[in-house]
Amino acid sequence: MAPDDGTLDLFDVAAPTEPSGAEDGGGAAPAQPSPRSEGKRGRVETRVEVDPETTGTNSRDGEPEPEAPEVWTVSQVNRAVRNLLEAQLSAVWVSGEVANWKRAGSGHRYFTLKDENAQIRAVMWRSDASRLPIDPDDGMEVRVHGSLTLYEARGEYQLVVRRLEAAGDEGLWRIAFEKLRKRLEAEGLLAAERKRRVPRFPRTVGVVTSTTGAALRDILSVIRRRAPWTRVLVMGTRVQGEGSALEIAHAVRVLGRSGRVDVMIVGRGGGSIEDLWAFNEEPVVRAIAACPVPVISAVGHEVDVTLSDLVADLRAPTPSAAGEAVVVDGAAVAEYLERVPRRLATGLRGSVQRRRRAVDEGVPRLRRALQRRIEPRRSDVGVLTDRLTRAMRTALERRRRRADVLDRLARAARLSVERPRRTLSALAGRLHALSPLSTLERGYAVPLTRDGRVLRSVDHFTPGSGFVLRVVDGRVDCEAGAIHPDDDFDGP
């Protein structure tokens, strides 16, 4: 990349070289015939001349027998036939059906051209085949222009094709165009919603085109006239011929990813559909679609439409129109800026006056509207207030009666509990009086066996037997001594 020295930087991209013309994998290829003028057409006239020096006399007339004729080699025969074919059929149009289409690694194309009765082998050298937009499919009806020659090594004649067209109204170019267009449309690359707005005041504009063409001069002339402060970076490429599509796609990617441009113009001047075809090829179209900055396509004239035009963010009919679309006119901007203060003042005054009138007209309307909305609701408020007052009084009365009922229930509950409590207290007193414990409290004790049975008689004791004496506050382990029945007891 050249250093920045003003408004023009050149990005030079080396053009790819064309491979050699030898056939890959198809055997030895016949040499290409020397170019001849196209347009000759007609039948082949073959004339045989007899050399009298090599012809003898008629033996039936008594003349000597002719000398033995010259014997040709196979190579001489094939060479003579080749010369005849190339001399008489150097420029012919042939129509037929494509079969066995083969693309060799060298870039040459080999195929068979046939109809319902015959077939002929054909070859299309790489230099001619590179101009094809697509390879025809087997079975496609085509018209070819070329010359007949003979491959001397095998004695096979073939048609050397210099031009190939699809038969019918749609040529091979239109078929290739529609085929790729439908695929791009299915992927959404032609959708209007994916197109980006071109910046109105770009600082730097990138241009991908030929550095020697009129398109670049037109673009630079328009930009310098309309916006001389705008910087322009140019990346020069070939715009037609074999390998040009790859150069253009590479330039778009490099310039787009450089981060140095705000918008990009891709294009060239006018020409035939073959001349413009690089801008219909898939590498260029996809590079434009994937470019990180907006792209303006400017290919050919207004009537020329390419796939690059369809996928770009903006289509300009000519390179000059692209220059006008990418920058605004500086003089128009200056004139516009001079009018801005007056337009702003006028606009503000008009806006204030419109809003003042709207307020003046709106306040009475708002007041009347509020009154219309309030009046019906005022009577509604009175009715609702009366209803609410009555509802509150009714609710309070219900709650007062409910409170009286609860008070009576509470008194009844207390009475119903008090009577059983007094009865229970009396019964508890009587039960306590009858309880053995009350007897123990008066100083008595109860003898018990070890297992808790009451010993009621002296008969239940034996001298030395153990028992338990239950007193009011515990038990005492005892042992019986002498046993004295009541008859023998002298105590108190």
Indicate the pairing of strand 295-299 with strand 314-315: parallel
- What's residue 6's pLDDT? 36
Give the DSSP H/E element, type plus range, for residue 398. Answer: helix 330-434
- What's residue 203's pLDDT? 93
**Which strand ranges, in their side-by-side order, compose the sheet holding 466-471?**
446-448, 466-471, 474-479
- What's residue 27's pLDDT? 39
**Bridge partners, 94 (sequence order):** 144
pLDDT < 70 positions in the chain: 1-69, 168-170, 487-492
Rounded Cα gap, residues 326 and 263, in angstroms: 8
Give the DSSP H/E element, type plus range, for residue 217. Answer: helix 214-226
- What's residue 242's pLDDT? 83
Rounded Cα gap, residues 129 and 135, in angstroms: 9
C-beta atoms surrounding 230 within 10 Å: 20
C-beta atoms surrounding 338 within 10 Å: 10
* pTM for the whole structure: 0.49
Indicate the pairing of strand 119-124 with strand 141-151: unpaired
- What's residue 230's pLDDT? 92
Question: What's the N-to-C CA distance of the chain in angstroms?
Answer: 145
**What is the number of alpha carbons within 13 Å of residue 441 lying toward its C-beta?**
7
Classified by CATH at the fold level, domain 74-168 comes out as OB fold (Dihydrolipoamide Acetyltransferase, E2P) (2.40.50)
Rounded Cα gap, residues 225 and 56, in angstroms: 88
- What's residue 381's pLDDT? 81
**What is the number of alpha carbons within 13 Å of residue 341 lying toward its C-beta?**
2
- What's residue 17's pLDDT? 36
- What's residue 62's pLDDT? 52
Ramachandran quadrant class, 234 (left: phi over 0; alpha: psi -120 to 50; beta: rest): beta
For the chain, what are the domain ranges?
A: 74-168, 193-328, 347-388, 440-480
- What's residue 415's pLDDT? 83
Indicate the pairing of strand 119-124 with strand 446-448: unpaired
Helices (H), 227-329: 244-257, 282-289, 307-311, 319-326
* CATH code, 193-328: 3.40.50.2300
Same fold, 74-168 and 193-328: no
3-state helix, strand and coil shares in percent for the chain, rounded to the nearest 5:
40, 20, 40
Indicate the pairing of strand 204-209 with strand 231-236: parallel
